[in-house]
Amino acid sequence: MPATPAKKNVPGPTPAKQSRASAVGDRPPQSISIIEPTVELEQAMTTRTTKGIVTFIRPFRLGALGDQYPAGHYPIETDEELLEGISFPAYRRTATTMQLIADPMHPGVTEFAMVDPARLAEALAADIAQAPMINVDLPKVEL
């Protein structure tokens, strides 16, 4: 009976390494792609909101037939969207809201209302035009 040849002890991959090598092959490990989250972030940043406060010195109306509101400070918020397809960032106004005093007898009760930016600008211009002019005489210095 012929003798069976003895197995040589040749170093080779262990079963765990063998399964990884067969799964990956000769390719190096791949890096994780971060392009997808970046695209989602860019899509989320297409709108912005800016906040400000306008001050009226006198009672005012938004438009000729609008309600009259008392003088005071009024918070405003402007929503804008990014214009696409141009080489620099530019935004288009989509909405302007203003926190108005709903009832002058109860100044703590407010409401948010959509306002036309042109009417808001007109009301501010009228308020400035009605504001008293202050004439300040400079002190005279004698030498």
CB 81 within 8 A of CB 95: no
Measured CA to CA, the distance from residue 29 to residue 15 in angstroms comes to 19
> If residue 128 lies in a helix (H) or strand (E), which one and from where to where?
helix 117-130
pLDDT tens-digit readout, 61-97: 888 778 888 888 999 999 999 998 889 989 999 999 9
Q: Is the pLDDT of residue 118 over 80?
A: yes
**Lookup result for tokens 């003798």:** 3
Q: How many CA atoms lie within 13 A of 38 on its CB side?
A: 4
What's residue 39's pLDDT? 46
Contacting residues for 99 by C-beta, under 8 A, at least 6 apart: 74, 75, 76, 110, 111, 112
**Domain residue ranges in the chain:** 46-130
More confident residue, 21 or 127: 127
